Amino acid sequence: EVQLVQSGAEVKKPGESLKISCKGSGYSFTSYWIGWVRQMPGKGLEWMGIIYPGDSDTRYSPSFQGQVTISADKSISTAYLQWSSLKASDTAMYYCARSPGAAWGYNYWGQGTLVTVSS
Amino acid sequence: NFMLTQPHSVSESPGKTVTISCTGSSGSIASNYVQWYQQRPGSAPTTVIYEDNQRPSGVPDRFSGSIDSSSNSASLTISGLKTEDEADYYCQSYDSSNQGVFGGGTKLTVL
């Protein structure tokens, strides 16, 4: 069974760093892309970027380029989304999702990680 | 910038059929696959249609997807509406640079 299991909720202060994770199981982790999607409170879904763990090929939305870093460790079948300096506006739910291709849709989703940034 | 536009909300009665549209702002919506995701309150999204008109296993055949090149739009049709179909629905595709784009979402009310 394909599963994407995300790390737990985080509460951080502005300026702090953070790295959240998404662990894949039940399939060949290096053969599918993993994307990250943001959902701010009460708002819609936003495409942040995508990574191919097989060779770490990474693409970012212009809206998120330079604001976050997407990475993956194929040895432990885990993808990451990280911030070096959080802002209150980063408060959101973040989902990882699996895709067969860089420009294909997502067929499996993680359960989401809630990130709250507040002083 | 390529955008996908959806109606903010639709409503229909149980047992009826509803269609949600997703219109591309430029180019050809047929150039890249369109997906549809369902998100119930408090839950992660799930995929109900991928590659324009394919249903993942477990999604009932009441859900169908289509593309209309003449109007540069995609549609999600749900027939035999059930109260459990009440949710937000998002279309998603890619622009000419293979950047992912989501529609703004449509709230479906089944009343």
Evaluate if residue B35 carries a pLDDT over 90. yes
- As a whole number, mean pLDDT of residues B3-27 equals 96
CA atoms within 13 A on the CB side of A90: 28
CA atoms within 13 A on the CB side of B69: 5
**Residue of chain A whose alpha carbon sits nearest to that of B97:** A103
- How many inter-chain contacts (A to B, CB under 8 Å) are there? 64
| C-alpha distance from A13 to closest chain B C-alpha (Å) | 24
At residue B37 the predicted structure's pLDDT band, cuts being 50, 70 and 90, is: very high
So what's the pLDDT on residue B53? 95
| C-alpha distance from A102 to closest chain B C-alpha (Å) | 7
The answer to whether B45 and B89 have CB atoms below 8 angstroms apart is no
At residue B28 the predicted structure's pLDDT band, cuts being 50, 70 and 90, is: confident
So what's the pLDDT on residue A104? 86
- Could you give the percent of chain B with pLDDT greater than 90? 86
CA distance A85 to B26: 36
So what's the pLDDT on residue A62? 93
Which residues in chain B have their CB less than 8 angstroms from residue A105's CB? 33-35, 47, 50-51, 92
Phi-psi region of A88 (alpha: psi -120 to 50; beta: other; left: phi over 0): alpha
User: Which SS3 state, helix, strand or coil, does residue B6 take?
Assistant: coil
So what's the pLDDT on residue A50? 96
**Residue whose structure tokens are 């892309």:** A33
DSSP, residue by residue, A4-61:
EEEPPPEEE-TT--EEEEEEEESS-GGGSEEEEEEE-TT--EEEEEEEETTTTEEEE-
Q: Mapped to the 3 state alphabet, what secondary structure does B54-92 carry?
A: ECCCCCCCCEEEEEEHHHCEEEEEECCCCHHHCEEEEEE
The answer to whether A51 and A71 have CB atoms below 8 angstroms apart is yes
Chain A residues bordering chain B (beta-carbon distance below 8 Å)? 35, 37, 44-47, 50, 59, 61-62, 95, 97, 102-112
| C-alpha distance from A103 to closest chain B C-alpha (Å) | 6
Number of Cβ within 10 Å of residue B98's Cβ equals: 13
Contact yes or no for A59 and B98 at CB 8 A: yes
At residue A68 the predicted structure's pLDDT band, cuts being 50, 70 and 90, is: very high
**Residue of chain A whose alpha carbon sits nearest to that of B52:** A105
**Residue whose structure tokens are 């996908």:** B4
Q: Two tokens at A111?
A: 């359960």
So what's the pLDDT on residue A17? 98
Residues in contact with B57: Cβ distance below 8 Å, sequence separation at least 6, in sequence order = none
